[in-house]
């Protein structure tokens, strides 16, 4: 820690890291879809949504076979 400069709270740092990871995930050229063990979509990036003509946020929670 630099003297006189306060570190943000841990929750803020985690939010910043999450925002960075989301930016990276949506910047990957190829489409990416992540599912849980039951086949339910947990992550769906924007390039994959553009490729399929689907809104990424609307796919979260759907079963992978419904695309």
Write out pLDDT tens, residues 8-32: 788 899 999 999 999 999 999 999 9
**Is 54 contained in some domain?**
yes
Asked whether the beta carbons of 32 and 25 are under 8 A apart, the reply is yes
**Is 6 contained in some domain?**
no
**pTM of the predicted protein model:** 0.72
Q: Residue 45: exposed, middle, or buried by beta-carbon count in 10 A (0-12, 13-18, 19+)?
A: buried
Q: Is the pLDDT of residue 46 over 70?
A: yes
35 lies in which domain range? 29-67
CB within 8 Å of 44: residues ≥ 6 apart: 32, 33, 34, 54, 56, 57, 59, 60
**Is 62 contained in some domain?**
yes
**Is 45 contained in some domain?**
yes
**Is 47 contained in some domain?**
yes
């Amino acid at each position: 820690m630099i003297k006189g400069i306060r570190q943000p709270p841990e929750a803020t740092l985690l939010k910043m890291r999450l925002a960075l990871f989301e930016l990276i995930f949506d910047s990957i050229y190829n489409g990416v879809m992540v599912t849980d063990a039951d086949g339910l979509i947990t992550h769906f990036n924007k390039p994959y949504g553009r490729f399929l003509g689907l809104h990424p946020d609307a796919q979260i929670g759907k079963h992978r076979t419904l695309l």
